[in-house]
Amino acid sequence: MPTNAEIAASLTAIADLLDITGANSFKVNAYRKAARVAESEAQDLATLAAADPSALRKIEGFGESIAAKIVEQVTTHRIAELERLRGEVPSGLLELLTLQGVGPKTVHLFWSKAGVTDLASLKSAIDSGALASIDRMGEKTVENLRTAIAAREAAGAQPTRFRLGQAVPIAESMLAVLRSTRGVHRAAFAGSARRGRETVGDLDLLVSCDDHDAVRQAFLSLPFIDRVLAHGDTRCAALLVGGMQVDLRIVDDEVFGAALLYFTGSKDHNVFLRERAIAAKMRLNEYGLHQAPEGTDGPVGALVAARTEESIYAALGLHVLPPELREIHGGDCEHPVPDLVDTAHVRAELHAHTTASDGSLTIHELASLAVSRGFHTLAITDHSKASAQANGLSVERLHRHIDAIRAAQADFPTLRLLAGSEVDILADGRLDYDDDTLALLDVVVASPHAALRQEPATATKRLLRAIAHPLVHIIGHPTGRILLGREGLAPDMHEVTAAAAESGTALEVNCHWSRLDLRDIHVKLAVAAGALVAIDCDIHGAEDADNLRYGVATARRGGLTRQSCVNTWEQSALLAWLKDKKSTRGAGATR
């Protein structure tokens, strides 16, 4: 059965193809909206449609005709309308959509006004001047197109998105160089990376300075630049070794806030802010918030705000929306923003491996690392026996490991060391250790590691069983997905989060940037259900502790508050939760 992402991709494909044929934009927008809804819907749409085809209609954004298309894809694995459109539109035109700055409406113009059908004919149309003669196709647009084609050709078959934890360190090392460049006032990354999205299409850097030349020189001589795509006075672009694109904007310091706001996006949030500005008789763009023009198309009026994001939100009468909320929460920042969890609040790591299973640190090294982070609690949670490939511990080895953890405690007066385990949730939801063994542990993280392709309904039952187990404290990386690698389980997350809230079991946001599991939309459901969430680095080596920020960003995107995150609690509250949960053992649990 198709995944939500596959359904979203089909809906987007229909929208793109309709747009390219010049179809009515209401119809096109309905498909685009439905694609966004499908992508951020936490329930498995195929499961929903298979159980009751009319259920889809209840989801806001799916009209009758679109719901029917989804049912068609679920039941027949094809959508006749999509195939008809594919027959009508030359396939080479779709490739043009991957060019930066080129959308389907532009492709419609290329096709209908200049007879362009693929990349090769687009290049000839540029060279012959045929393109420049199309209405609304200025010289600047054609120049941008050349840049985009160069980028496309240089990137070749590289992946089109990169994982947050791979992009952010590169962005920061580039910013460090730019910040030390002469005349630079402020430098930041914007775009999807600043919103903490799990993958980024390209990096957007922003610098304010007195000397554009110096910044451009510094940028162009950064290490790992493979190929320069553009080097203008206010915009540079380059491809890095590995294929990621970096866009740099150079602005005056007075407008840094406006540019940061604009280039942070999301596009939907920008649209919301612009409309808000218009309603208040103002205009907002990347150069600032201005009074509206006097006449219908005169120049904009006086500058209202531009130096900081805060000043712009304030002038619009809005609360500042943290960047992580500028995407899935859409535009809504009229209400006070919740007290989101922050990296500085985290005082405990509850998922860490030592050399006893597949970690590279000893108990003592891990504990020293936790102390250096200012943590008050660390749980040692090595793998259980079913994870043989990760050197999971037999019951006998676990007994000795618990003793070693208890013995190490004496050396760390400021840190509470907990003896735990990351216990496999077997395919049917049973746990990999018997209850008497689990009862010896201070903390049990139960995680799925194998059988990650099971049907959604089976996966739901599996997780519900583990959640209801009274000796389980935390469900580790609940779906087992690997970003850009493996889909993982697709359980009904409404049921999973409701059950977690009911039993007081925490759901983990695994901070590793290849997991980020729970993902943002699942965190949002957990928050809505009132479930507890654990944000853990799943430490296997010292560097993993630095991934905390990615897990926190994911949690913030889902709207997680400090109160609902167990890692932020005072030690006494955390220990009380761990102990109390165990003592309800046997109270009506299904085993």
CA distance 280 to 361: 58
Q: Which of 565, 560, 558 is nearest to 532 (CA)?
A: 565
Q: What CA–CA distance (Å, rounded) separates 498 from 526?
A: 8
Restricted to residues 137-196, the positions that interact with Ca ion (CB under 5 A) are 191-192
Is 429 a binding residue for Ca ion by CB under 5 A? The answer is no
Amino acid 353 reads: H
Q: 393 forms bridges with which residues in the sheet?
A: 384
Indicate which single residue of 41, 44, 198, 204 sits in contact with Ca ion (rule: CB under 5 A): 204
H or E element that contains 153? helix 139-155
Closest distance of CB 553 from ligand DGT, Å: 14
Q: Phi-psi region for residue 126, left (φ > 0), alpha (ψ -120 to 50) or beta?
A: alpha
Rounded Cα gap, residues 286 and 255, in angstroms: 8
Residue span 369-408 as binding mask against Zn ion, x where in contact by CB under 5 A, dash where not:
----------------------------------------
Angle between helices 104-114 and 119-128 (to 10 degrees): 60
The nearer residue to ligand DGT, 83 or 275, going by C-beta atoms, is 275
Cβ proximity to Ca ion, 37 vs 200, nearer residue: 200
Would you say 473 or 524 has its CB closer to Zn ion?
473
- 202 binds ligand DGT, rule: CB under 6 A: yes
Q: In whole angstroms, how far apart are CA 177 and each of 200, 226, 232, 546?
A: 22, 17, 19, 21
**Which does residue 62 bind out of Zn ion, Ca ion, ligand DGT, none, counting CB within 5 to 8 angstroms by kind?**
none
How many other CB atoms sit within 10 Å of the CB of residue 546? 13
> Which residues in the 240-269 window bind ligand DGT by CB under 6 A?
262-263, 265-267
CB of 267 vs ligand DGT, minimal distance in Å: 4
Tell me whether residue 247 or residue 327 sits nearer to Ca ion (CB atom). 247
Which two structure tokens, joined as six digits, stand for 461? Answer: 């039952």
Binding mask 56-95 for Zn ion (x = CB under 5 A): ----------------------------------------
Do 131 and 114 touch, CB atoms closer than 8 A? yes
Nearer to ligand DGT, 269 or 383 (CB): 269
- Edge-first strand order for the sheet with 282-285 is 282-285, 288-291, 303-305
Task: Considering the complex, state which of residue 316 and residue 474 has its C-beta at the smaller distance from ligand DGT.
Answer: 316
| Closest to 239 in 3D by CA, of 122, 144, 140, 158 | 158
Residue 349: CB partners within 8 Å, gap ≥ 6?
Answer: 370, 373, 375, 377, 378, 379, 536, 537, 539, 545, 567
Which 454-513 residues touch Ca ion, going by CB under 5 A? Answer: none
Q: How far apart are the first and last CA of the chain?
A: 30
Residues whose CB is less than 8 angstroms from the CB of residue 499 and which lie 6 or more positions away in sequence, other chains included: 463, 464, 467, 468, 505
Closest approach of Cβ 263 to ligand DGT, in Å?
A: 4
Residue closer to ligand DGT, measured from CB, 262 or 569? 262
The residue range among 118-126, 171-179, 243-251, 531-539 that interacts with Zn ion, by the rule CB under 5 A, is 531-539
Among residues 413, 438, 430, the alpha carbon closest in space to that of 468 is found at: 430
Closer to ligand DGT by Cβ: residue 110 or 162: 162
Distance between CA atoms of 192 and 263, rounded to whole angstroms?
9
Which of the choices Ca ion, ligand DGT, Zn ion, none does residue 422 contact, using the CB cut-off of 5 to 8 A by kind? Zn ion
Residue 341: which region, alpha, beta or left (left: phi > 0; alpha: psi -120 to 50)? Answer: beta
* Contact pick of 80, 120, 271, 278 for ligand DGT (by CB under 6 A): 271
Q: What is the DSSP string of 220-244?
A: HT-TTEEEEEEE-SSEEEEEETTS-
Q: 538 contacts which partner out of Ca ion, ligand DGT, Zn ion, none, CB within 5 to 8 A by kind?
A: Zn ion
Interface mask toward Zn ion for 413-452; x: CB under 5 A? ---------x------------------------------
Residue 165 CB, nearest approach to Zn ion (Å): 16
| Cα-Cα-Cα-Cα dihedral sign, residues 319, 321, 325, 326 | positive
| Binding of ligand DGT by 272 (CB under 6 A) | no
Task: Name beta bridge partners: 444.
Answer: 421
Between CA 37 and CA 46 the distance in angstroms is 14
Q: Does 12 help bind ligand DGT (rule: CB under 6 A)?
A: no
Report if residue 204 touches ligand DGT, rule: CB under 6 A: yes
Per-residue contact string for residues 227-266; x = within reach of Ca ion by CB under 5 A? --------------------x-------------------
Report, in Å, the least distance between residue 351 CB and Zn ion: 6
Decide if residue 309 touches Zn ion (CB under 5 A).
no
Cα separation, 379 vs 343, in Å, equals 18
Tell me which DSSP letter residue 567 carries. G
What are the residues facing 422 on neighbouring strands?
383, 445
* Number of Cα atoms under 13 Å in the Cβ half of residue 487: 17
For residues 169-198, which are near ligand DGT according to CB under 6 A?
A: 191-192
Three-state SS for 177?
helix
Residue that the structure tokens 């059988």 belong to: 451
Binding residue count for Zn ion, defined by CB under 5 A: 2
What stretches of 251-381 show up as alpha helix (H) in DSSP?
Answer: 256-264, 267-279, 309-315, 363-372
Cite the DSSP H helix spans in 439-547.
Answer: 456-468, 493-503, 520-529
Q: Does 327 bind Ca ion (CB under 5 A)?
A: no
Smallest separation (angstroms) from Ca ion to the CB of 185: 22
Q: Which is nearer to ligand DGT, 45 or 206 (CB)?
A: 206
Q: Which of 41, 44, 202, 538 binds Ca ion (CB under 5 A)?
A: 202
Question: Is residue 44 a contact point for Zn ion (CB under 5 A)?
Answer: no
- Quick one: which segment of 141-149, 270-278, 402-410, 538-546 binds Zn ion (CB under 5 A)? 538-546
* Chosen from ligand DGT, Zn ion, Ca ion, none, partner binding at 265 (C-beta under 5 to 8 Å by type): ligand DGT
Binding residue (CB under 5 A) for Zn ion from 538, 556, 575, 581: 538
Q: Which residues bind Zn ion (CB under 5 A)?
A: 422, 538
Q: Which residues bind ligand DGT (CB under 6 A)?
A: 191-192, 200-202, 204, 262-263, 265-267, 270-271
Q: Which residues bind Ca ion (CB under 5 A)?
A: 191-192, 202, 204, 247
